[in-house]
Amino acid sequence: MKFLYFILVITVGLSSVHALTPEQEILRLQKGEYYFHYLTQDFPAAMSQVSRWRGQEAMGKEVDVMEAAMLLSLGLHKQAQTIFEKIQKEGGVSSSQSWFYLARRWFELGEFYNAVYCLQQVEFEKIQRDYQLESQFMMASSYMELGEYNRAQKIITKMPRSSIWTGYAQHNYIIAMIYGNNSGRSLNLLIEDATFYLPKTKEANNLRDRINLISGIHYLGLGKNRSANKYLKSVSLQGPYTPAALLQYGWAKVEQGEYEQALQPWRELQTRFNRFEPDVMESMLGVPRLFELMGAYTQAIKSYESIEKRLLAMTEFVNATQQKLNSASWLDSWLAVQTDTRWGWQTPLDSTVPFDDVSGLLQLLLAEDLVVKDMREYRDLVLLSQYLKEKEENLLLWQKMVKQREFEALTRDVKPMFDQANRILAAAKHDYEELSLYVDTSAQELFSFPTSIQEGSLEKLTRSTLSLEMLLSLNSTTRDVELYQQRWARVRGILLWQMNEEKPSMQWQLKRNLKNTKQYMVQAKRQLLETQLADNWSDDSWQGLDVRVDKILQKTQALKELADQAALESKNNILLKSENFIVSQRNRINDYLSQARLSIARLYDEALQRKIADGDILSHQVGQ
């Protein structure tokens, strides 16, 4: 039913489809084609479509909006901004759907002012129901970013509570409240409201976890440990926010002096998650610290010593894995698992790098937006290079094909064939006219349609009658032949009468055949004309194309070199970042290692001091 709400954007401004002129119909098809490429995320094809419309008066300003959305999708933000500024300056009418897509891109890029401007151009009733909710979410969130919380709140109030978009809007509103929005609303109530009505989907569960985690951390910071506990406990154990929630839950328990209960979430954290995760590393040092707080110093020392060994093993692992990084095999294996062959910012990518030692270590680096962006860029360049190579090969084949077409067109001699066909047609026409004339005159003639048998019989009868006449004139016969003569004459008369009876049917048959023949002749004539026309058109298949193919081939080859070079630089850039990350990871491990060792020294020192204080060891023995 929801589609009933959706009005085809391509017919906006046109009262009825039936009233469209052929030019408008073709334009409607072309616009629909653009949306098809765009919605199925074939951005290069859509961009090519838009480029062809440039300069067409009928497309108006819509082509600008479409192009801006496309450029944003392809990651060409600067160019999109230029077009967008032009739209804002000059104004113009465009479809709501185009504005919506453009708003979505700006919002994703954090350009909230531009996003609001685009959303204000959207007529909500003219877009799909789902898009209406997304528009409201974007509008509310953009207002929050621009500091207009009351406006945002009004929009959220009008949104249906069970929609995931409402959940996202409320999530953003909670963050805004935490970081300075003094709207006077109860944060607790808002959190309850945001999490309670969310749908039962994986995406909604993750959002619920996120809201609970943010709230828990917020209350932990305020020293409201019971509230923090409540929200942190609500985070599921199977989501992306589980490690952070487990760590924070442990610290909340520590703050409340419930040391033994703090151990459980940290143990869970250390057994279930990657040891290079910062939350896991922090919890590793948290455990002996708890033992200290509990006064279990011996256990604390043993725990620190155990952690020291683990951290040393991790350092060795990092050193060993660093050598594998230089081969960039992890990057290639990541490229290999991508099933989508398109390039561009919106291309859905499998962000999971196939699991091995390197990807396990680089997990945190690979979660960084900037690194993911670099990887996307590298992938785009690799794809572009492959695409250009493919096009280069195709163009070389086309080059041969065009030459072949030219050769065949120039050597093909169709004139004799057409002349012969014309002659055959003219002869047929002549025969047809003769027959037509004969049919027309046959009405006056008695003996007009004899068969060959009838013709033979008639000739025999005539000859016999003449012979009998001759016999009669000689009068030398022994018998009277006059009776025979009369009989033969009667037979001849009957034959002529029969032929006369059959004449109308024969006449009708011939007329029908003539009519069919006329139709065949018309068809043959049209076929001949069409073939002659096709021969005239055939020059289009090669004339002027060789120059165009050569020119584009040269451009493709030059661009491929540039793409190869850029892909290499991009790859080196990622490898450099991964190396830097490894260095920072090693430093982080070293820091924790130093802290563990310092703690071990401190605990031994304190134990020694306690023994001296208790008199178990004399002070002069310490020096020995």
Partner 1 sequence: MRFLSSVIILLVAMSTNAESPPAVSKVSEKAITVKESVLQLNKDLYQLEEDLLSPATTKASVFLSLTYGEFFEPYSINVLVDDKQPIQYLYTKRQVDALRQGAIQPLKDLNLGPGKHQIKAIAKGVDKNGKARELVVEKEIEKHDQPLYIELKIQDKKEIQSAELLISQW
Scanning residues 571 to 610, which ones bind partner 1 (CB under 8 A)? 573
Among the residue ranges 163-171, 295-303, 410-418, 583-591, the one whose residues contact partner 1 (CB under 8 A): 163-171
From 466, 489, 534, 607, residue interacting with partner 1 (rule: CB under 8 A): 534
Q: How far is the CB of 8 from partner 1 (least distance, A)?
A: 4
Residues between 432 and 451 with contacts to partner 1, criterion CB under 8 A: none
Number of CB atoms found within 10 A of residue 345's CB? 19
Of 48 and 587, the one with the shorter C-beta distance to partner 1 is 48
What is the nearest approach in angstroms of partner 1 to the Cβ of residue 266? 25
Min separation Cβ 616 and partner 1, Å: 52
**Binding residue (CB under 8 A) for partner 1 from 81, 123, 148, 164:** 164
Q: Tell me how far apart the alpha carbons of residues 381 and 368 are, in angstroms, rounded to a whole number.
A: 20
By beta-carbon proximity to partner 1, the closer residue of 285 and 524 is 524
Alpha carbons 393 and 553: distance in angstroms, whole number: 9
How many Cβ atoms sit within 10 Å of the Cβ of residue 315? 15
Q: Name the residue nearer to partner 1 (CB basis): 272 or 555.
A: 555
Q: Which of 1, 453, 613, 618 binds partner 1 (CB under 8 A)?
A: 1
**Is there a contact between 74 and 43 (Cβ–Cβ < 8 Å)?**
yes
Question: Hunting for tokens 């055939």 — which residue is that?
Answer: 538
* Binder among 549, 582, 589, 600 for partner 1 (CB under 8 A): 549
First to last CA, the chain: 89
Pick from 203, 340, 350, 393 the residue near partner 1 by CB under 8 A.
203
Tokens of 191: 């959190």
Is 165 a binder of partner 1 (CB under 8 A)? Answer: yes
Helix residue spans in 184-296 (DSSP H): 187-196, 202-222, 225-234, 242-255, 259-272, 278-294
∠ CA 610-306-253, rounded to 5°? 75
Nearer to partner 1, 409 or 458 (CB): 409
Using CB under 8 A, which of 533, 598, 601, 608 touches partner 1?
Answer: 533
Encoding tokens for residue 338? Answer: 């991508």
CB of 537 to partner 1, least distance (A): 4
Tokens of 339: 């099933």
Q: Determine the size of the site formed for partner 1 (CB under 8 A).
A: 92
Tell me the torsion sign for CA atoms 511, 516, 519, 524. negative
Residues of this chain, 315-374, that bind partner 1 according to CB under 8 A: 343, 369-370
Angle, alpha carbons 329-333-338 (nearest 5°): 150
In the region spanning residues 236 to 295, those forming contacts with partner 1, defined by CB under 8 A, are: none
| Closer to partner 1 by Cβ: residue 3 or 623 | 3
Q: What is the C-alpha separation between 602 and 301, in angstroms, rounded? A: 10
Per the CB < 8 A criterion, the answer to whether 128 and 2 are in contact is yes
- The pattern of x and - marking residues 472 through 511 that bind partner 1 according to CB under 8 A reads ----------------------------------------
DSSP codes, 429-482: HHHHHHHHHHHHHTTT-SS-S--HHHHHHHHHHHHHHHHHHHHHHHT--SS--H
Residue in 326, 335, 339 with CA at minimum distance from that of residue 376: 335
Rank residues 11 and 333 by Cβ distance to partner 1 and give the closer one.
11
Nearer to partner 1, 251 or 345 (CB): 345
Sequence-distant (≥ 6) Cβ neighbours of residue 481 within 8 angstroms:
468, 471, 472
Using an 8 Å Cβ cutoff, are 546 and 278 in contact? no
Those residues with Cβ within 8 angstroms of residue 345's Cβ, 6 or more apart along the chain or in another chain: 72, 73, 74, 75, 376
Nearer to partner 1, 141 or 321 (CB): 141
Measured from the CB atom, is 462 or 573 closer to partner 1? 573
Q: Which of 74, 244, 287, 331 binds partner 1 (CB under 8 A)?
A: 74
Q: What is the DSSP letter of 371?
A: H
Question: Residue 3 interacts with partner 1 (CB under 8 A)?
Answer: yes
Binding residues for partner 1 restricted to 173-192, rule: CB under 8 A: 175-176, 178-179
State which residue, 76 or 435, has the beta carbon closest to partner 1: 76
Of 171-179, 245-253, 420-428, 485-493, the segment contacting partner 1 by CB under 8 A is 171-179
Query: Any contact of residue 68 with partner 1 (CB under 8 A)?
Result: no
Of the candidate residues 60, 61, 81, 108, the single one contacting partner 1 (CB under 8 A): 108
Q: What does the per-residue mask of binding to partner 1 show for 556-575, with x meaning CB under 8 A?
A: x--x--xx-xx--xx--x--
Q: How far is the CB of 574 from partner 1 (least distance, A)?
A: 10
Radius of gyration of the chain (CA): 47
Q: Scan residues 116-145 and list those touching partner 1 (CB under 8 A).
A: 128, 137-138, 141, 144-145
> What is the pattern of x (binds partner 1, CB under 8 A) and - over residues 373-392?
----x--xx--x--xx--x-
Q: What span, in angstroms and rounded, lies between the C-alpha atoms of 399 and 342?
A: 26
How many CA atoms lie within 13 Å of 415's alpha carbon, on the beta-carbon side?
A: 3
Q: Where are the beta strands (DSSP E) in 467-616?
A: none
Can residue 101 be called a binding residue for partner 1 (CB under 8 A)?
Answer: no
Q: Half-sphere exposure of 446 toward its Cβ, with a 13 Å CA cutoff?
A: 5
**Nearest CB to partner 1, comparing residues 167 and 250:** 167
Q: Does 19 bind partner 1 (CB under 8 A)?
A: no
Q: Work out which of 530, 591, 606, 616 binds partner 1, going by CB under 8 A.
A: 530
- Cβ–Cβ under 8 Å, residues 560 and 343: no
Residue 19 structure tokens: 């009233």
Judged by CB under 8 A, the stretch of 4-12, 150-158, 464-472, 510-518 that binds partner 1 is 4-12
The CB-based long-range contact list for 373-378 (8 Å cut-off, 24+ gap) reads 374/570, 374/573, 374/574, 374/577, 375/331, 375/334, 375/574, 376/75, 376/345, 376/347, 376/349, 377/75, 377/570, 378/331, 378/567, 378/570, 378/571, 378/573, 378/574
Minimum CB distance to partner 1, residue 97 (Å): 7
